[in-house]
């Protein structure tokens, strides 16, 4: 599968994180794909694992049994990959073990490492070896740990685009813990990678604000129905209507955000002569006259294009005489 550039600087890349919201149903998984594509998401992501290689059974039997129920097989992932291609949306899944990562490399163009595995360097190295774009969530990590992770990513990458995702591993994440300033912090500290945001809060506002702050990759959990079951992830997910709203909002953010400089557009400069003032002589003034406040009126004149500058007038001596109602120019 040929590598390509997904994360264009002038745009956003929105991932609808289906995760395990299909709850083991291939029919629901396909519906998640088609609805995400309809909403305008760039990609749909699942979670791929062999529960025996991922979770210790005797640690929490209920959770183990739930994961076993949710587990899809490799043939089903291939079906989903083909179905996503037909729906013109990027398909990929987060690998939770080394073997499944090797298989996914055959059927997907991007990889993601979950927060729980951002210290699983053997898995990260394996995925980096594929040379495909790699997204890594930074939940559970402090700055020093992210620095170590980033060095490992840069050292071992094989022509990979690297994305570090600000992420908070609380489900759902209360507003006071979202800390979107971390996006600006990561952008400042890690200039060789792309910075994004993986959201676990309720609603879509945090994703929109993250994009305003410059997150170029946005990941939002996605479900068909928030009340589908008691499974935790449904409540923190966007439904199809919300996902469409998020897509529309992100398109607006791209237009609003603009570029990293301060420069008026040509359209704005058309209004300059309508809004700027000129210094106009209130009476005939002779050369070398020292200007007083009552000598001048500062006027706008929308009918006349005037030159304007940045200077003071009061207290200055005229270099030449100026007739009444004429502009005073230095």
pLDDT given at position 308: 64
Q: Is 3 domain-assigned? A: no
How many domains, in total, are found in the chain?
Answer: 2
Do the beta carbons of residue 29 and residue 58 sit within 8 Å?
Answer: no
Residue 8 lies in a domain: no
At residue 93 the predicted structure's pLDDT band, cuts being 50, 70 and 90, is very high
pLDDT of residue 2: 47
Quick one: what percent of the chain has pLDDT higher than 90?
A: 85
Whether 7 is in a domain gets the answer: no
Alpha-carbon span 173 to 305, nearest angstrom: 55
pLDDT(123) > 80: yes
Q: For residue 313, what is the domain's CATH number?
A: 3.90.1210
Shared domain for 250 and 283, answered yes or no, is no
The model's pLDDT over 222-251, given as tens digits with 9 standing for 90+, comes to 999 999 999 999 999 999 999 999 999 999
**CATH code of the domain containing 61:** 3.20.20.70
End-to-end CA distance of the chain: 66
Q: Given this model, what pLDDT does residue 307 score?
A: 64
Instruction: Based on the fold, state whether residues 196 and 321 are members of the same structural domain.
Output: no
* Per-residue pLDDT at 38 exceeds 70: yes
Domain assignment of residue 243, given as a range: 13-257
pLDDT at 259: 83
**Which is more confidently placed, 5 or 330?**
330
b/e 174-190 (16+ beta carbons within 10 angstroms → b): eeeebebebbeebbeeb
- Distance CA(278)–CA(102), nearest Å, equals 71
Cα distances (Å, whole numbers) of residue 168 to 51, 114, 179, 200, 206: 24, 11, 8, 7, 12
Task: Tell me what pLDDT residue 241 has.
Answer: 98
The pLDDT-based confidence of 174 (bands split at 50, 70, 90) is: very high
- For residue 5, the model assigns a pLDDT of 63
What residues contact 1, with CB distance under 8 A and at least 6 apart?
106, 107, 108, 109, 132
Domain boundary among 240, 257, 274: 257
Looking at residue 216, its pLDDT comes to 95
- Helix (H/G/I), strand (E/B), else coil: 72: coil
- Asked, for residue 29, whether it belongs to a domain, the answer is yes
Pair (176, 315) in one structural domain: no
Burial of 159 (0-12, 13-18, 19+ CB in 10 A): exposed
Asked if 239 and 315 sit in the same domain, the reply is no
Q: How many helices (H) and strands (E) does the chain have?
A: 13, 10
pLDDT digits (tens, 9 = 90+) for 281-292: 999 999 999 999
* Shared domain check, 230 and 97: yes
Specify whether 286 is located in the same domain as 196. Answer: no
Q: Describe the strand order of the beta sheet including 90-95 as a list of residue ranges.
A: 90-95, 43-48, 13-19, 217-221, 194-199, 162-167, 134-137, 111-113
Instruction: Give residue 1's pLDDT band: very low, low, confident or very high (50, 70, 90).
Output: very low
Query: b or e along 7-41 (b: 16 or more beta carbons within 10 Å of the residue's beta carbon)?
Result: beeeebbbbbbbbbbbeeebebbbebbbbbbebbb
The mean pLDDT value for 113-140 works out to: 98
- DSSP 8-state assignment for residue 328: P
Looking at 76-90, 141-155, 197-211, 265-279, which range is the least confident one? 265-279
Residue 301: pLDDT band by 50, 70, 90 thresholds?
Answer: confident
Per-residue pLDDT at 309 exceeds 80: no
For residues 205 and 116, membership in a common domain is answered with yes
Helix-helix angle 26-39:240-257, to 10 degrees = 30
Examine the domain organization and report whether 72 and 202 are in the same domain.
yes
Last residue of a domain, one of 213, 230, 257: 257
Q: Measured between alpha carbons, how far is residue 197 from residues 176, 201, 304 in Å?
A: 16, 11, 50
Which of the pair, 179 or 300, is modelled with greater confidence?
179
Q: Which residue has the higher pLDDT, 276 or 88?
A: 88
Please give the mean pLDDT across all residues of the chain. 94
Structure confidence at residue 186 (pLDDT): 98
Residue that wins the pLDDT comparison between 173 and 278: 173
DSSP secondary structure letter of residue 295? G
Residue 73 lies in a domain: yes
pLDDT at 57: 84
Q: Domain check: are 90 and 239 in the same one?
A: yes
pLDDT(109) > 50: yes
Residues in the chain: 330
Give the C-alpha separation, 288 to 9, whole Å: 56
Rounded to 5 degrees, φ, ψ at 144 are -60, -40
Residue 280 domain-assigned?
yes
Most confident of 60-69, 111-120, 265-274: 111-120
Answer yes or no: is 2 within a domain.
no
Is 6 domain-assigned?
no
From 223, 257, 291, give the residue that closes a domain. Answer: 257
- Whether residues 252 and 299 share a domain: the answer is no
Q: 118 and 191: one domain?
A: yes
| 228 plus 247 within the same structural domain | yes
């Amino acid at each position: 599968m040929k590598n390509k550039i997904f994360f264009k600087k002038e745009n956003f890349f929105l991932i609808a994180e289906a995760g395990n919201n299909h709850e083991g149903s291939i029919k629901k998984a396909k519906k998640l794909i088609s609805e995400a594509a309809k909403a305008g998401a760039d990609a749909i992501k699942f979670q791929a694992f062999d529960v025996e290689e991922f979770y210790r059974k005797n640690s929490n039997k209920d959770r183990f049994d739930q994961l076993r129920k949710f587990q899809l097989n490799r043939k089903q992932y291939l079906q989903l990959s083909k179905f996503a291609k037909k729906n013109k949306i990027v398909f990929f899944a987060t690998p939770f073990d080394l073997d499944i990562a090797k298989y996914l490399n055959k059927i997907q163009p991007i990889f993601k490492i979950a927060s729980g595995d951002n210290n699983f360097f053997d898995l990260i190295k394996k995925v980096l070896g594929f040379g495909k774009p790699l997204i890594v969530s930074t939940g559970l990590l402090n700055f020093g740990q992210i620095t170590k992770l980033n060095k490992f990513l840069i050292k071992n990458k094989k022509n990979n685009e690297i994305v570090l995702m600000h992420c908070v591993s609380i489900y759902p994440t209360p507003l006071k813990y979202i800390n979107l300033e971390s996006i600006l912090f990561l952008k400042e500290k890690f200039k060789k990678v792309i910075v994004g945001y993986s959201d676990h809060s309720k609603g879509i506002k945090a994703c929109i604000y993250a994009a305003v702050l410059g997150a170029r990759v946005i990941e939002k959990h996605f479900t068909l129905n928030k009340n589908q079951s008691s499974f935790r992830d449904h409540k923190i997910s966007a439904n199809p209507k919300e996902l469409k709203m998020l897509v529309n909002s992100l398109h607006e953010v791209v237009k609003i955000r603009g570029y990293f400089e301060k420069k008026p557009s040509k359209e704005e400069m058309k209004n300059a002569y309508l809004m700027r003032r000129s210094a106009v002589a209130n009476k005939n003034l002779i050369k070398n006259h020292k200007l007083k406040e009552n000598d001048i009126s500062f006027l706008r004149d929308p009918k006349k294009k005037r030159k304007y500058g940045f200077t003071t007038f009061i207290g200055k001596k005229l270099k030449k005489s100026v007739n009444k109602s004429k502009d005073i120019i230095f």
